[in-house]
Structure 1
């Protein structure tokens, strides 16, 4: 009758000796491939992405139109190639302050105080070459890219390329958007525009021209047109000294009376009518 004996081996392993008619004793050992498999997989888990990706900055600013949308401060985020996506959704009290902070480049969440925005509304990420992408993550009220809806309600969309100057709309107005919390979010995308927020030759030249106008020619009226720094793009008359002027953060100058309706309509947000640069005047 066959019998088997269990013998403890060093290291806590056990070997089984089976005797069937005069057979030999055999000890089962894992192959070399099986021994190397767990080691290689564990090393991959410890270091899945050994080379850090390139960081690309994206800036999301309000898109100013005649129709009012949800106001918000410009949002700056740094996205890493192959890194986690930027998750866009609704602000809740459970979220940390980092999620809704506008100037928190390392944060991976973007939150808006609007009830037409789903908690997990959309995602933005960057791939190799600095190419940004956007997709709808099963939102109920929809994600629109340049006025085109990406997917139906509660359905995930395919990735869509995102370029500088694109317009993103999160949700649609509820009850006409009479209350601010029920308004959709309209976003203008700015990619690789850091040079606009720094000092450059255009800004320096514009300041020098404004300073030179006030001290040249003794303020003679006949030289007003010749001394003008530029023409106001609203009324097409010269912008010069002894006038109430509005100088935008982008250094473009206008007559204050020409810009006053635009300043009041979206205050504190301002979008230059010449270069389309958004700025928070506060």
Structure 2
């Protein structure tokens, strides 16, 4: 089996990464940064997000597992004292693979540039360089609303606990192939109206944003912040690709939600 390790870069994470690499090499596994079968991330959810984007072209062949060296994460479920136990399980191939839905982001331009296509594991947001974002929103090919406000967020189910939650969006179990559209400070008065509620769209639906004011937009894809100029449309759908996680033991989603947002004693 081929593996790679991605560390957050702090002393604790780097030390654990060195130990894990030595253990895995001793078990006969091959360190391969280009074509790993499994990627071990050590740090937190942000470290795993970076690894996901690094290996986005190998999602069908690569599984991820994370060790958290900070607060409890939604993706990184192992703790530093468990590193030897985890390494033994990897060496024995003693794990199942689960898959979570991803978000496809396609940006079409007014000029002759090719479309830019991204995959998001958590979410994508759109904001205007100006004060107010004005976008026509089409759902499944039908005009829905003209949005005015700070911005829009489209999230995956697994990403629904991240920025989406802070915007008042619903938490969605990642077993559901769906995406969620959430507003950022929409303008609602006697002249301008939006639905004012998060929308959960099934896998066979699309969400298309068409600029009304200004052709340039700040678009985020997880941790990536990108300025796109001369934009014609921004399209979202549940991606055909899925992210794969190596699961060595039960890691119930609702327990993660409870431990992260309700049980203050969990570290």
Per the normalisation by structure 2, the TM-score is 0.28
The structure that is strand-richer by fraction is 2
Per the normalisation by structure 1, the TM-score is 0.26
Larger Rg: 1
